Amino acid sequence: MAHLSKRIKNIRKDLDLSKVYSLKEAIELVKKSANAKFDETIDISIMLGIDGSKQDQAVRNVVNLPNGTGKTYRVAVFAKDQKAEEAKKAGAEVVGGEELVQMIQKGDMPFDRCIATPDMMALVGRVGKILGPKGLMPNPKLGTVTMDLTTAIKNIKAGQVEYRSEKNGIIHAGIGKASFSDDAIAENVKALIDAVVKSKPVGAKGNYLKKMTLSSTMGVGVTFVLD
């Protein structure tokens, strides 16, 4: 049996693992357990009623959270000429073409999200095997292959979240910080869930939102339903 730390045992005193809480109760419990020496991230896990092995049932998109995530995102942009200047003015940390490809090939990747103009995608393809597994490959569906770089960068900086289902049908996403108000966390949770529901694949049958759990970085998961 795994050894439980004193901290986790204390957290579990207030938690009934067999109970499904309201969103309000779950937020209160998760924030109470987030007592590490740093501002813990609040994460949501959603188990979907999909067949993750089928490509046409994969769920992936982005959502703009009303209260952001509390995280600072560094943005890299593949662009040239006037579009490169636009990206720099919009706040992108790294902007380039061939030189950006070379940086990535060397393992130098000082960014969290990646955007490209459509005309740069042939160049981006040269590092697709590096960016893809890290979830950084620009994608038109996610708004990261676009000519409107200013809006794309602004959305990311404001806390736009990408969500994607894993092969087991579960979505994981950070939706705020423990320092956020209860209302701010609740608004973010509802915005994400609403986006996931709108992304429901046509082939998904039966109960779509099978189980939802909130947790903090160092805490335990609290199962909940919307109020």
Counting other chains too, the contacts that 130-138 makes at CB distance below 8 Å and 24 or more residues apart are 130/104, 130/105, 131/104, 134/109, 135/162, 135/164, 136/109, 136/111, 138/78, 138/114
Kindly tell me if the per-residue pLDDT of 226 is higher than 50.
Answer: yes
3-state SS assignment for residue 95: strand
pLDDT (tens digit per residue) in 145-172:
999 999 999 999 998 999 999 989 999 9
Report the chain's C-alpha Rg in angstroms: 19
pLDDT (tens digit per residue) in 35-90:
889 999 999 999 999 998 888 999 999 999 999 999 999 999 999 999 999 999 99
State phi, psi for 148 to the nearest 5 degrees: -90, 75
Q: Token pair of 208, please? A: 């779509």
pLDDT of 203: 86
pLDDT of 126: 97
Beta pairing partners, 62: 162
pLDDT of 66: 95
Q: What angle do CA 227, 193, 31 make, to 5 degrees?
A: 60
| pTM for this prediction | 0.85
Burial 62-81 (b: 16+ CB within 10 A, else e): bbebebbbbeebebbbbbbe
pLDDT (tens digit per residue) in 102-155:
999 999 999 999 999 999 999 999 999 999 999 999 999 999 999 999 999 999
State phi, psi for 96 to the nearest 5 degrees: 175, -170
- DSSP structural state of residue 37: S
Q: Token pair of 223, please? A: 């199962």
Beta pairing partners, 96: 78
